Amino acid sequence: MQKPYRFSDTQLLFPLLCLLLLSSCARPVEEAALIFYPPPPERPRLQFLTAISSETDLAVKRDAFDSFLFGPDLSFSSIGRPYDIASDRGSIYLIDRQSNKILTIDLVNKDFTELRATGRGALRSPSGIWVTSDGFKYIADIKRQQIVTFNSSNEFIRAYGNKELFNKPVDVAVYNNNIYVCDMVKSQIIVLDRDSGEVVMTVGESGSEEGQLHKPTHVTVDKHGNVFVNDAFNFRVQQFDSSGVFVKTFGFHGDRMGGMARSKGLDVDQEGNLYVADAAFEYVQIFNKDGQLLLFFGGPGNAPGNMYLPAGVHIDYENIQFFNTFADPNFKLKYLLYVCNMSGSNKVNVYGYGDWSGE
């Protein structure tokens, strides 16, 4: 006689789990409060859009049934201690000081990948990154005492400099055929020719007077070739023209608005406004081209929009389409602003700068 068929425990559990999942999906999701800077009733210029800390924040999630069966501790790629940030179309690049890796956030495929460099291109202690319009990546490596370059396919191209030229290269920027290397120990910006690798000029020298630097940490270049340097231990940012001549100073040592205590990453938008992160005050300040403070945003904590040891700052005009869904319908995004948080739960804060059309 044929034995009666018995359902296994898993087969009996499956319909119940499906019902539970369907009922949970049907529950209304409470909408998060929108965060604007300046806050109402002022006309908003900046909106906090989202934070990226792992692949789950890119909507790359395992099947809900698998999550229910195997628990919440599923393995997803996550960000450790992001220090610097750059981007090109469809991608965001992070220097993660926890893993000493270059992490790529692929906005198209919604996943994380690593730049796996070996042999002559192996990275030891990356600190700063710059990505050019042709997709070439220039990485300042402190322990190699070099600038290491990869093409758009992440293939190693060449390394610039050596321990005789660089002491502690902490950041890098590229403009036209010049490579600007921020050396923290030499307190200088060393400018190299992109083709030959030879020194073109040096910007600044050790000191506290105008045009002098004391342990600079970050460098950026605007669309006109002006050079902006985070003069960290002088508690200011200094601007030089394309010839290396001092132009002006932003900020001062103090705890008033416009003051700086532990300034870090910086970037300049297409209108010439300067954005500077401060890891002590845990906010970003925006200065106009005349050095006047326009706005500050962030603040300490783990709440949405807040910052926790902010470091890298980067402005992105190319990837608005991937974040438009986070913006208020009355807020037209003009560009994105990324801020790296070395600690806390929100590793990369994404803000949008734009125009408000509502009441």
21, pLDDT greater than 80 = no
DSSP one-letter code for 5: P
Query: What per-residue confidence (pLDDT) applies to 76?
Result: 56
Q: Has residue 32 been placed in a domain?
A: no
Check the CA dihedral 227-128-151-122 and report its sign. positive
Does some domain include residue 294?
A: yes
The number of distinct structural domains making up the chain is: 1
The C-alpha atoms of residue 344 and residue 298 are separated, in whole angstroms, by: 13
Cα 26 to Cα 263, 281, 325, distances in angstroms: 46, 42, 21
The pLDDT tens digits for 272-319 are: 999 999 999 999 999 999 999 999 999 999 999 999 999 999 999 999
Q: What is the pLDDT of residue 41?
A: 87
d(CA 197, CA 47): 41
Supply angle C-alpha 306, 127, 337, rounded to 5. 35
Position 38 pLDDT exceeds 90: yes
In this predicted structure, the answer to whether residue 62 has a pLDDT above a threshold of 70 is no
pLDDT at residue 177 tops 50: yes
In a domain, 111, yes or no: yes
Range of the domain at 252: 45-66+78-356
Output the pLDDT for position 59. Answer: 72
Compute the average pLDDT of residues 198-214: 96
Mean pLDDT of the chain: 88
115, part of any domain: yes
Average pLDDT over residues 129-158: 97
Q: Would you say residue 292 lies in a domain? A: yes
- Among the listed residues 268, 183, 269, 290, the one whose alpha carbon sits nearest the alpha carbon of residue 232: 183
Where residue 32 falls among pLDDT bands split at 50, 70, 90?
low
Supply the CATH number for residue 208's domain: 2.120.10.30
User: How does pLDDT run across 83-112, given as a tens digit for each residue?
Assistant: 999 999 999 999 999 999 999 999 999 999
227 inside domain: yes
The pLDDT value given to residue 33: 78
Higher pLDDT, 313 or 258: 313
Report which of residues 255 and 141 the model is more confident about: 141
Q: What is the pTM of this model?
A: 0.86
Alpha-carbon distance of 192 to 203, in angstroms, equals 11
Residues 6+ apart with CB under 8 A from 162: 145, 146
Residue 23 lies in a domain: no
Give a yes or no: residue 238 inside a domain: yes
